[in-house]
Amino acid sequence: MKIQALALAALLSTQAFADEVAFDFKDPKGVNNIVFKLDAPLESISGTTNGISGIISADPAEPEDIEGKIIVDARTLSVPNPLMQEHMLGAEWLDTAKHPEITFEIKEVLNSKKEGNTGTAEVKGIFTMKGISKEVLVPVSVTYLPGRLADRTGGKVEGDLLVVRTNFQINRGDYGIKQGENLDKVSDVIDISLALAGAAPKK
Amino acid sequence: MKFSLRTLARLLALFILSTGLSWWWFSGADMGWTKTYVTIPATDDVTGIQYEVKKEKFVPGVDFLALGTGLSFVIFATSLLFSTKNPKIQQP
């Protein structure tokens, strides 16, 4: 009886593990992007980055139940004004020489709902910037696109895609970025929008 | 036709002011900072992800306008130091 229970547990855990697919978010097409906006009373700043990588695991049957980590190369953050960019990446602001990565690690998925290939959920995770980590709760939409990787690679690679979208806000002061300073020109609130596609090639 | 240094300096100031103003105006009179690239929205057909494609383009902003205007005023102010008369050639 005990052996049967153990065998059943092993079978179930193997099945659960087998259902999970790892999606790689390093996108050679450069489509994956994060947009950040800061709207201060005197100045509005908008920038982007394509320097995104990371792995998210998801069960295609339950695409909203995700786990993993997204990594942004902070040195690739870009704004159209070169002087502003130099200041943004410099030691006084993001200090990308010492803190080259901005990360978001998924810890827990809450209130998940599924509709067709798309799922929505609130994801609790650890957002790390300039060496400071804070727990944040972000609304996430996840779409599973089976067999669509071939369409993006001109038929060279077969596999699935997972599209993750989210919009959330952080306060730069919480991450030690000139807390309470220059608020008239550089907003404390940063609006962040992510639209990322991860690829899972068939083995 | 000979110009005094004062006149030459003022013409230069006028040229810088008008060029800077015209460049800024005809580039779209952007009220933000000067940009070295612009972004063009695009959509990925497969995923539907909307993204921005960067295109290198110099778009002068208010800092460019201020720099041109400031420089022309400095040259104009400097022109006041010059004499209004042409230097006379001394006959032996």
DSSP output for A118-183: EEEEEEEEEEEETTEEEEEEEEEEEEEETT-HHHHTTTSS-EEEEEEEEEEEEEGGGGTSSTTSST
Candidates B38, B49, B58, B64, partner chain A, best to mutate (most A CBs within 10 A): B49
The band of A7, judged by pLDDT with boundaries at 50, 70 and 90, is very low
Say whether residue A189 is in contact with chain B using an 8 A CB cutoff: no
Give the list of residues 6+ apart from residue A149 with CB closer than 8 angstroms, or none.
Answer: A157, A158, A159, A160, A161, A199, A200, A201
Domain ranges, ordered by start, for chain B = 5-79
Of B35, B48, B50, the CB nearest to A80: B35
Which residues share a beta bridge with A30? Answer: none
Return the higher-pLDDT residue of A33 and B90. Answer: A33
CA–CA min distance A124, chain B (Å):
23
Tell me what ipTM this predicted complex has. 0.73
Say whether residue A158 is in contact with chain B using an 8 A CB cutoff: no
Instruction: Quote the CA–CA distance of A47 and A38 in Å, as a whole number.
Output: 9
Q: Does residue A4 form part of some domain?
A: no
Of A44, A152, A195, the CB nearest to B50: A195
Q: Does residue A12 form part of some domain?
A: no
Instruction: Determine whether the interchain pair B47/A80 forms a contact, defined as Cβ–Cβ distance below 8 Å.
Output: no
Instruction: Quote the CA–CA distance of A53 and A196 in Å, as a whole number.
Output: 10
User: B-chain residues within 8 Å CB-CB of A44?
Assistant: 32
pLDDT digits (tens, 9 = 90+) for A30-55: 899 999 999 999 889 999 999 999 99
Q: Does residue A69 form part of some domain?
A: yes
pLDDT digits (tens, 9 = 90+) for A80-122: 999 999 999 999 999 999 999 999 999 999 998 888 888 899 9
pLDDT of residue B90: 57
Q: What CATH number is given to the structural domain containing A59?
A: 2.40.128.110
Q: Does residue A1 form part of some domain?
A: no
The reported pTM is: 0.80
Q: Does residue A2 form part of some domain?
A: no
Structural domain that includes position A180: 20-201
Residues 5-64 of chain B with CB under 8 A from chain A are 32-39, 44-52, 54, 59, 61
Q: Does residue A8 form part of some domain?
A: no
- Judge whether residue A11 has pLDDT over 60: no
With tokens 């006041």, the residue in question is B80
pLDDT of residue B86: 57
Give kind and range of the element (H or E) at residue A201.
Answer: strand A189-201
Q: What angle do CA B77, B78, B82 make, to 5 degrees?
A: 120
Q: Does residue A178 form part of some domain?
A: yes
Give the list of residues 6+ apart from residue A116 with CB closer than 8 angstroms, or none.
Answer: none
Say whether residue A48 is in contact with chain B using an 8 A CB cutoff: yes
Number of domains forming the structure of chain A: 1
Q: Does residue A121 form part of some domain?
A: yes
CA–CA min distance A201, chain B (Å):
16
Chain B's closest residue to A154, CA to CA, is: B46
The upper half-sphere exposure of residue B54, i.e. CA atoms within 13 Å in the direction of its Cβ, equals: 17
With tokens 């209004």, the residue in question is B84
Say whether residue A94 is in contact with chain B using an 8 A CB cutoff: no
- Weakest-pLDDT range from A5-14, A133-142, A164-173: A5-14
Say whether residue A166 is in contact with chain B using an 8 A CB cutoff: no
